[in-house]
Chain A
Amino acid sequence: MTAPTRSLLVADARTKARNRAEARFRAYGLAAILLSVTLLGILLASILSNGLSAFRQTEITIPVTLDAAAVDKGGKGDLSSLRATSATAYGKLIAKALKDELARQSIPTAGLSDKDIAALISEQAGADLRNRVLGDPRLVGQTVTVDALATGRIDGYFKGRVTLESAEKDSKIKPEQLHLADAMRDAGMMALRFNSGFLTNPDASEKRPEAAGLGVAIAGSLYMMIVVLGLSLPIGVAAAVYLEEFAPKNRFTDLIEVNIANLAAVPSIVFGILGLAAFINFAGLPRSAPLVGGLVLTLMTLPRIIIPARAALKAVPPSIRDAALGIGASKMQSVFHHVLPLAAPGILTGMIIGLAQALGETAPLLLIGMVAFVRDMPGLPPGGFLDPATALPVQVYNWTQRADPAFTERASGAIIVLLAFLLIMNAAAILLRRRFERRW
């Protein structure tokens, strides 16, 4: 008796090959998912590792004597005569104080000129001290402790961006200055501290990356979000209610529907061109204004709000409408008193996600002039809506265009702030959905 050539109990070569193909196919699928998740991880890790250091800044702590002769050239001691003193004069005062303090602590400064020593301090430090004195004129004549910003290169040295080798080739910093910085750190004069100015200061010029902050960008983004929320919530909900509850089925409403589906997929930069042509060139609104940015983002966000709002309205069962109509409510009353409140959580969730997308949008804002360099905070509403401002994502773009590598760190830091806002908004949307979601 010969053994059977084929058996269900013994896998033949062909079955083995098929099973291997099966395992391979499955592995490809798993690999695709793992790859996507890994890429997400790398993306976030890269941004975090580049940007977290933007939240810390090197400061030089020195006592500065605010000599009345030096800071009050008018000699009257009132605000107007104090204003006559320039930030440069304060800068010189700080430079001198630094030199004196180095001498007092007997920190060696061999091989460095006075100018080299003064160059450790940011050009911004003088302006900051001037503002402090203007805010409190009684400081004149006293000795105050000043936390002056160090320049971007020194800051970069403490953060590992600048090294002794790179300083050899760098015209903006000498290795001796870095040695001095080390000595100052050991003496407790220089340290990395939390950088609150990053969130509140306006942007700064190419030469002083250490002073650049997100204040104007955050204010501009906030103003734009107010405009987007104020316009797109009522308009989006009204459009969704009409299309879902009232619209007759005809060619016109079909046209509107196709239109909305299409608008949701139009490239965002096209909305920027629309904003430039319609709001700035045609309607004559000012460039760089949060109002114009808000209008452009509203048009862009509307379809992305209408679509989920319609889905939320559709999810409310017809029995609710029938019950309302049955006890004598008008169609309008049944919608506004019963259907809309029940659909509200879903609509709000879509709204928050739409707002989050609008917050991260960059390209259309570039075209309406929000890349401009803005030093002044926009005013209070309603006038502030027309003041020039920038936006968080545009500020990131702006900083990537600067030559100094210190701005790359700032750009990554700005993205962390942006992502933090997005995270909060999306978390709110998820919580809202969890809390109020209803299964019929």
Chain B
Amino acid sequence: MSISLFLLLLLALAAAAYVAGRARAEMVAGGDIRRLHSLPRQHGLNLAIAFALPALVGYAAWRMAGAGGGLWASLLILALGAASALAVWLALKPETRARNEVEAATKLFLVACSVIAVATTIGIFLSLIFETIAFFQKYPAAKFLFGTKWAPDFRGGSDLGVIPLLWGTLYVSAIALAVAVPVGLFAAIYMSEYASPRVRSLAKPAIELLAGIPTIVYGLFALITVGPMLRDWIAQPLGLGSSGASVATAGIVMGVMIIPFVSSLSDDIINAVPQSLRDGSLGLGATPSETIRQVVLPAALPGIVGAVLLAASRAIGETMIVVLGAGAAAKLSLNPFEAMTTMTVKIVSQLTGDTDFAAPETLVAFALGLTLFLITLALNILALVIVRKYREQYE
């Protein structure tokens, strides 16, 4: 029996159990539902749960055990649910605490749903770690971590050093931050300290719109507009390169993308600096800009550092902009107009198309994923801790 048919049958039978439970409760009450501890519909729900829960658990266990959806097995599992429902039906008395049972089951469901978040993290970690171990059994970890050459070859004899990819990632992210931090910070300062409410109500959503645009749009923008522009106007006249895809292209476009990450969080943080600090400074005769530079910003600094760290984590994990804007050649170079590549680009290129999950050239993507995950995790946790500590300071 297919899963959808089973679920449909289960739903129909659960509905029947609900009706039966309601009717039974009304019968037991002898026409006066005030005699019942719980409302008839709660009895109905209780019966439906008593049917569906064991059937679902049984079916899940059956499928997990690797067995196919046999017709008889499915019917047996449904019968199991029906037996459990029948037991509840027979035991139904006016004083049965159906509501408490239903609420306990609901709470169980709520807990299960919140645990999914933890399960996702565990799943990410396990899926990365197992394949990474498999990779390190085929390729020495030291060569991966300290190798300065990246030249995968599916016929064997690949060089899979992470250093050039790490360099590309950090270079692109550094350019992105060099664009986003000054622009984002000044935008945040202007919006929180100078702008009238009207300007603020227009500018804030406009800047946040930048964060709502999908990254593939930025990628295409880098590919068809920014890349050729940088090449024709800057790189070629200066003789620095002739490639549209370059670290500078990807970095600048990514910088535009993370402006709102810097500005939104910095704006919140600057707003959280107590007004009394500003008043004190202005009262001593400082101009607003002196107040901001010498009082507000130092007070907000830890929070701003947190915001920048979050933006950096965003930049390091960003994929589509670098796939379309940065190029595919792994290089260790200082020239920003040269095409370089990043860890995320190589994860994509090693895992798309026909992949052989026994080859180190495929498995290396998982090691790259783990590296990426650990770097961003460290940045995120650091940023969260800093921001949280900072918030407590003024509360």
Q: A18-B287, A47-B217, A241-B110 are in contact. Are A269 and B116 (CB under 8 A)?
A: no
Given A269-B369, A366-B348, the answer on whether A274 and B310 have CB atoms closer than 8 Å is no
Asked whether B320 lies within 8 Å of A362 as measured between CB atoms, the reply is yes
Interface size class of A (residues with CB under 8 A): 35 or more
Say whether, besides A35-B183, A37-B203, A50-B224, A274 and B124 are in contact (CB < 8 Å): yes
Identity of the chain B residue whose Cβ is nearest the Cβ of A303 in the assembled complex: B117
Asked if A30 and B121 sit within 8 Å, CB to CB, the answer is: no
B114:A242 contact, CB within 8 angstroms: yes
Chain A interfacial positions (CB closer than 8 Å to B): 18-19, 21-22, 24-26, 28-33, 35-37, 39-40, 42-43, 46-47, 50, 234-236, 238-239, 241-243, 246-247, 255-256, 258-263, 265-274, 276-278, 281-282, 299, 302-303, 306, 330-332, 353, 356-357, 359-363, 366-367, 369, 371, 382, 393, 396-397, 400, 408, 411-412, 415, 418-419, 422, 426
Whether B220 lies near A269 (C-beta < 8 A) is no
- Residue of chain A at shortest CB distance from B7: A382
Q: B366 contacts the other chain (Cβ, under 8 Å)?
A: yes
A400 near B220 with CB under 8 A, answer yes
Interface string of B231-256 (1 = CB under 8 A from A): 00000000000000000000000001
**CB–CB A243/B220 < 8 A:** no
Q: How far is the CA of A42 from the CA of B222 in the complex (A)?
A: 12
A-B pairs with lowest CB-CB distance, top 4? A267-B317, A360-B214, A29-B190, A277-B127
Report Cα–Cα, A398/B108, bound state, in Å.
44
Taking residues whose C-beta sits less than 8 angstroms from the other chain, chain B's interface range is 35 or more
**B121 — which chain A residues lie within 8 A by C-beta?**
259, 262-263
Pairwise interchain contact A269-B316, C-beta atoms closer than 8 A: no
Q: How far is the CA of A238 from the CA of B183 in the complex (A)?
A: 39
Most buried by A among B187, B193, B203: B187
Contacts known (A18-B290, A25-B289, A273-B128); A397 close to B118, Cβ less than 8 A: no
Q: Which residue of B lies closest to A382 (CB)?
A: B4
Main SS class of interface, B: helix
Inside 8 A of B372's CB, which chain A residues have their CB? 267, 269-270
Docked-complex contact B292 and A25, CB < 8 angstroms: yes
Chain A residue contacts of B182, Cβ below 8 A: 32
Q: How long is the Cα–Cα vector from A37 to B207 in the complex, in angstroms? A: 6
Residue B347 at the A interface, CB < 8 A?
yes
Given A29-B186, A273-B365, A362-B214, are A268 and B317 also a contact pair (CB < 8 Å)? yes
Residue in B closest to A29 when the chains form the complex, CB atoms? B190
Bound state CA distance, A418 and B99, in angstroms? 47
Contact residues in B for A363 (Cβ distance below 8 Å): 215, 319-320, 323, 344, 348
B380 CB-CB contact with A under 8 Å: yes
A269-B348, A303-B117 known; A396-B183 Cβ under 8 A: no
Do A29 and B187 form a contact, CB below 8 Å, given A47-B220, A302-B120, A408-B224?
Answer: yes
Is residue B85 contacting chain A, with contact meaning CB distance below 8 A? no
Q: How far in angstroms is the closest Cβ of chain A from B323?
A: 7
**Chain A contacts of B293 at CB under 8 A?**
25
B133 at the A interface (CB under 8 A): no
Can you give 9 contacting A-B residue pairs, CB < 8 Å? A35-B183, A50-B224, A242-B110, A269-B347, A278-B123, A362-B319, A363-B348, A366-B352, A408-B224
- Residue B67 CB within 8 A of the other chain: no
Inter-subunit contact A273/B347 (CB<8 Å): yes
Question: Looking at the complex, which one of B4, B225, B289 makes contact with A22 (CB distance below 8 Å)?
Answer: B289
Tell me, in angstroms, the Cα distance from A393 to B214 when the chains sit together. 8
Q: Which of chain B's residues has its CB closest to A367's CB?
A: B351
Measured CA separation A234–B347 after assembly (Å): 32
Q: Which residues of A contact B310 (CB under 8 A)?
A: 265
In angstroms, Cα B305 to Cα A86, docked, is: 66
A36 to B187 CA separation, bound complex (whole angstroms) = 8
Query: Looking at the complex, which one of A299, A367, A396 makes contact with B220 (CB distance below 8 Å)?
Result: A396
Contact B127 A274 (CB under 8 A): yes
Q: Which residues of chain A have C-beta atoms less than 8 A from B195's C-beta?
A: 33
Interface 0/1 of B274-318, CB less than 8 Å to A: 000000000000011110110000000000000000100110111
With A21-B289, A40-B209, A356-B212 as known contacts, state yes or no: A267 contacts B319, CB within 8 Å: yes
Q: Smallest CB–CB gap between B362 and chain A, Å?
A: 10
Q: Per-position contact with A for B248-269: 1 when CB-CB < 8 Å, else 0?
A: 0000000010011001000000
Determine the residue in chain B with the shortest Cβ distance to A356: B212
Question: Is the pair A332, B186 in contact by a Cβ cutoff of 8 Å?
Answer: no
Residue of B with least CB distance to A265: B380
State whether A239 and B117 are in contact (beta carbons under 8 Å apart), knowing that A246-B110, A367-B351 are contacts in the complex. Answer: yes
> Could you say which residues of chain A place their CB within 8 Å of the CB of B290?
18, 21-22
Max chain B Cβ within 10 angstroms of own Cβ: one of A239, A255, A330, A418: A239
Min distance, Cβ A38 to any Cβ of chain B, angstroms? 10
Q: How far is the CB of B382 from chain A (nearest CB, A)?
A: 11
* Complex contact B118–A255 (CB within 8 A): yes
Distance between A143 CB and nearest chain B CB, rounded to angstroms = 43
Nearest Cβ in chain A — how far from B47, in angstroms? 18
Contact B210 A26 (CB under 8 A): no
Q: Is there contact, CB below 8 Å, between B351 and A273?
A: yes
On chain B, the residues within 8 Å of A47 by CB distance are 217, 220-221
Cα A203 to Cα B365 in complex, Å, equals 29
Q: Which residue of B lies closest to A363 (CB)?
A: B319
Q: Chain B contacts of A36 at CB under 8 A?
A: 183, 187, 206-207, 210, 256, 259-260, 263
